[in-house]
């Protein structure tokens, strides 16, 4: 078991989820935390990752680093999405095993589920039918990651847990228009359209200095700013969003996700997930800390004879609630105080029409969400506005 002195490496500790997990751990009294920025440690560099583990020898790892983006980014950078994520996962998980890491938490995404999976999506919907094409490469990478955790547990008796969060939003979100997720991109577009209408060029310049759009920052001419923003559907008191607005989505506040992740890291073991307590430990070589005795694991090829086939050991993390993209835009409009119009361009793709997850397993493991979407959207806009000061 981990204690307050355990060294915990949080990969991606400056990202949306990683930073929230870092803060959650600190608030719980776990202060022996290790983090590296991308400049300090390139997780796609196998030798660099090995050197890092040689030097730091962490007791636990949280793999929250990933190459992520929305529909546009997934369409443009398909090779990057599969290759970058696979490299990071392979390097971190293999070195964690090689260095005897006691506990590893892998963060994936609910895009792992088939496009037409029954709703709400249970963990056992994985690999039952084709994926959504627009994010297929990212999904395949994340499926590989969770299967790595599952397979290492079965073959080597490790204690690696994979959690699959729904759509996340919150402090330190990515608001860059070209490669951000739906909520921050939508919110920023609505905010900029309001500023254009208000003639508040000081605030527009501050926004673009913080997050330039295609190299255009706050020092550009008015014409250049209006031209580049129009490419992203941002006009004077008018915003155009991709798709029909009809797809249903579930959203989870990132600090809730962090709390769920840390709850799992500290309290949930692989043996809990597969229900090993129902069987004699002789069958699986179970130990008291949830790991499996490497000398006695009978598991090879994804099965343990006494337990049958073991798969879908990951855990869905979400709210179990959903709303349409149009309803989400209405919440963003309210948070920003926008009085203009929001239009939907139905010539652009919607992506998956519905993505609601079943959170029964998560609830059975002792955790439920706290922040509802109506409050969360308002909190996100307040954070974004503060980030520009």
**Rounded Cα gap, residues 225 and 204, in angstroms:** 9
**Rounded Cα gap, residues 56 and 52, in angstroms:** 6
Which has the closest alpha carbon to 104: 295, 269, 327? 269
- The reply to whether 138 belongs to the active site is yes
**Rounded Cα gap, residues 54 and 119, in angstroms:** 44
Cβ-in-10-Å burial (0-12, 13-18, 19+) of 224 comes to: middle
Cβ-in-10-Å burial (0-12, 13-18, 19+) of 44 comes to: middle
Q: Please provide the size of the chain in residues.
A: 389
**Rounded Cα gap, residues 341 and 332, in angstroms:** 12
How many beta carbons lie within 10 A of that of residue 226, not counting itself?
Answer: 16
Question: Which of the following is catalytic: 9, 30, 113, 138?
Answer: 138
The residues, ordered by sequence, that sit 6+ positions from 377 with a Cβ below 8 Å of its Cβ are 169, 183, 187, 328, 331, 332, 334, 335
CB 346 within 8 A of CB 245: no
User: Catalytic residue positions?
Assistant: 138
């Amino acid at each position: 078991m981990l204690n307050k002195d355990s060294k915990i490496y949080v990969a991606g500790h400056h990202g949306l989820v990683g930073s929230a997990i870092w803060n959650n751990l600190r608030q719980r009294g776990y202060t022996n935390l290790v983090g590296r920025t991308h400049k300090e440690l390139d997780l796609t560099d196998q030798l660099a990752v090995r050197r890092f583990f040689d030097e730091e020898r962490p007791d636990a790892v949280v793999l929250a680093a990933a190459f992520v983006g929305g529909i546009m980014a997934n369409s443009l950078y398909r090779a990057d999405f599969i290759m970058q994520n696979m490299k990071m996962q392979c390097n971190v998980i293999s070195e964690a095993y090689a260095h005897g890491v006691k506990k590893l938490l892998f963060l994936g995404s609910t895009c792992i589920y088939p496009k037409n999976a029954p709703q709400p999506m249970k963990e056992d919907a994985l690999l039952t039918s084709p994926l959504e094409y627009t994010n297929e490469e990212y999904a395949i990478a994340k499926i590989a990651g969770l299967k790595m955790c599952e397979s290492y547990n079965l073959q080597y008796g490790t204690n690696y847990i994979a959690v699959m969060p729904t759509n996340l939003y919150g402090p330190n979100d990515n608001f860059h228009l070209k490669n951000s997720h739906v909520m921050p991109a939508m919110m920023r577009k609505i905010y900029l359209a309001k500023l254009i209408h208000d003639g508040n060029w000081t605030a527009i310049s501050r926004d673009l200095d913080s997050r330039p759009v295609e190299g255009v920052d706050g020092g550009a001419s008015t014409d250049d700013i209006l031209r580049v923003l129009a490419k992203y559907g941002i006009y004077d008191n008018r915003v155009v969003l991709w798709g029909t607005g009809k797809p249903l989505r579930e959203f989870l506040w990132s600090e809730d996700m962090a709390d769920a992740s840390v709850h799992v890291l500290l309290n949930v073991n692989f043996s809990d997930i597969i229900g090993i307590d129902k069987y004699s430990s002789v069958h699986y070589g179970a130990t008291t800390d949830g790991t499996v005795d490497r000398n006695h694991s009978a598991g090879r090829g994804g099965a343990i004879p006494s337990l049958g086939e073991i798969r879908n050991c990951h855990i869905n993390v979400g709210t179990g609630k959903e709303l349409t993209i149009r309803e989400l835009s209405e919440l963003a409009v309210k948070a920003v105080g926008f009085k203009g119009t929001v239009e939907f361009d139905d010539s652009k793709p919607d992506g998956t029409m519905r993505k609601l997850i079943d959170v029964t397993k998560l609830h059975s493991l002792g955790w439920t969400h706290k922040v509802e979407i109506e409050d969360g959207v308002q909190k996100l806009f307040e954070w974004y506005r503060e980030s520009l000061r």
